[in-house]
Chain A
Amino acid sequence: MASVQIRNAVKVFGSTEVLHGIDIDIPDQSFTVLVGPSGCGKSTLLRMIAGLEEITSGEISIGDEVVNRMPPKQRDIAMVFQNYALYPHMTVFDNMGFSLKLAKVDPATIKEKVNAAAAILNLEDFLQRYPRQLSGGQRQRVAMGRAIVRDPRVFLFDEPLSNLDAKLRVQMRTEIRELHQRLNSTSIYVTHDQIEAMTMADQIVVMRDGNIEQTGAPLDLYDDPGNRFVATFIGSPAMNMMGGTVTNEGDITYFRSDHGTRFALQNGSADITNGAALCGIRPEHFTLADTGAENSLTMDVAVVEPTGAEILVIGRNGEQEFQAVFRERHSFSPGQQITLQPRLDKVLLFDEKSGQRIR
């Protein structure tokens, strides 16, 4: 087990800089998720930690030891690949024991370790099969088994669930999380799926275009996003954003949307007045209100999507599209006009140009 520190890491491919000075602290035994849209550099960063890509400048250390120039096999890490990268010509047993065999561990110990890992992952019955004969979920488990057998200082996961179907993905998510709680190994997990990030991480690092947008615990990022990108990237359905201005009227600061809606602001608005701003409201922070109520907006219902546990309503106020989620079973129909009141203590403001949060 070890902590991982990344200091000002830069990666340049040819003449393109893809990572612009990344700083991350990954505590020992934590589960850290790097999340961001495709092309944000998260996989490159993971491969740099693994030693599969060189570090152009900056420093990566594992357990207080700088590993920039260290070849992958000496870094004592294990990696689970997106396509599993199982050796097709080896049985499950040989796949899992390959690293030990290369390290010239004696066969009895290999057998013991592989069997122990297989027991953890429910793979005992498949040890003599070839990868071709396994289902997607089983292959995924073998890939993890290969990592567990080595008992590495750090586990690296590169989008390991993206080749699985939706149901299996949810199941494997739980399994990986359970496994982490059991083994308590430092894990770094790359995904583009914010739900995976939210459900699995101790710490989320949100990345975009080779920069870190925000680092923090899942719920902190959800409740207290530092900028517009994080606010809309984390959470599904996404946070509603509307343009408008902040005005002071008497003692009360208001947000006036471009479509004439007006909310009284409760927090973080003292610094700016009479300025353009973006107002962010999560879909679940709306409640139904009577027509003409204070601090409300009207919405023309366009689509109603009941999921059983909740109802998602998508509609418009003028040009602006809104989504609202209700746990209660309202019956809406398309074309209907409803009045929504946001929970004023949950309304967030962002700078219109920089997208930074206004607190």
Chain B
Amino acid sequence: MAAVIDSADRLPLLTRFMNNRNLMGLFFMLPAAAILLVFLTYPLGLGVWLGMTDVKVGRPGVFVGMENFTWLWEDSVFRLSIFNTFLYTVVASVIKFALGLWLAIILNNNIPIKAFIRAIVLLPFIVPTVLSALAFWWIYDSQDSVISWTLIELGFIDQTIDFLGEPNNARGAVIAANIWRGIPFVAITLLAGLQTIPQSLYEAAIIDGATEWQRFRRITLPLLTPIIAVVMTFSVLFTFTDFQLIWVMTRGGPINATHLMATLSYQRGIVGGALGEGAAIAVAMIPFLLAAILFSYFGLQNRKWQRGGRDD
């Protein structure tokens, strides 16, 4: 042992460094680590730190511990925003999943001009969120809404609907806009998943006597679960942290009925200048997001039949 170390000592420092796999490995990881530190860890750490201070615009502030959080817990608007965020996320995600899966299955069939229709489906995803939000704002206009106009012309109603002015209407309206925007992501990803299921499995199931519903229930759905888990995790994360749609359409109103945690954080922190409080609201989202990720990772993604053995 000693002899080996002696001979290694005689090599130039650079050569010894180049020959050490562990050191070289660390060296190669540096750029990625730097990016993660600067753009991810630092902002996150700063956010958590700000959440525990009473910084306001123009005032340095001091460390106040958990004071912001205890104060927020008593704040009815903050509590309402948690409720809104959950309502928004759960309703929108469930409908996005159902409609997205349905759309994916339709697109997976042999239909004419398939490529063209697939391209059309992606459209809501391509349009910048702010633009689509503005379009929805216009669609939901209290006077000139195209929906109200159509329903009046068809004779279903006799006065315009105040989509964004009445709390429950506004909630439904922003959820609908979010669904419209989120479906393409779910549909196209699930379509990719559907295409990895070999046709011969369906043929085997047909011969085994499975009806169309049984083929969906016992072949398609179980084989799609890994990809459903990934897609829905992302979809839930995006929906939970949604900001743009709401901010453009309602700014959280009417009477805070559509305030999500993200919009409330922005309003208190940036618009209102209470940086510490805004950061605390944002930090309060972390446990919920973490729970969603852990649920999908342990509950759905890792299936026993995917483990072990070869896949040839």
Contact = CB atoms under 8 A, between A and B. Distances in A.
B208 A99 contact: yes
B200 A81 contact: yes
B195 interface: no
Interface residues of A, number: 29
A170 interface: no
Interface string B191-207: 00000001011011111
A66 interface: no
Interface in A119-174: 130-134, 136, 146, 150
A89 B222 contact: yes
Contacts of A73: 206-210
B209 A103 contact: yes
Contacts of A102: 208-210, 214
Contacts of B308: 130, 132-133
Contacts of B206: 51-52, 72-73
A325 to B, nearest CB: 36
A98 interface: yes
Nearest to A152: B207
Interface in A78-94: 78-79, 81-83, 85-90
Contacts of B310: 132
Interface in B146-201: 198, 200-201
B305 A85 contact: no
A50 interface: yes
Interface of B: 198, 200-201, 203-210, 214, 218-219, 222-223, 303-312
Given A52-B207, A85-B200, 9 more contacts: A73-B206, A79-B204, A81-B203, A85-B204, A87-B219, A88-B305, A98-B210, A98-B218, A132-B306
Interface of A: 50-52, 72-73, 77-79, 81-83, 85-90, 98-99, 102-103, 130-134, 136, 146, 150
23 contacts: A50-B207, A52-B207, A72-B206, A72-B207, A72-B209, A73-B209, A79-B204, A81-B204, A83-B198, A85-B198, A85-B203, A87-B205, A87-B218, A89-B222, A89-B303, A98-B210, A102-B208, A102-B214, A132-B305, A132-B306, A132-B310, A146-B204, A150-B208
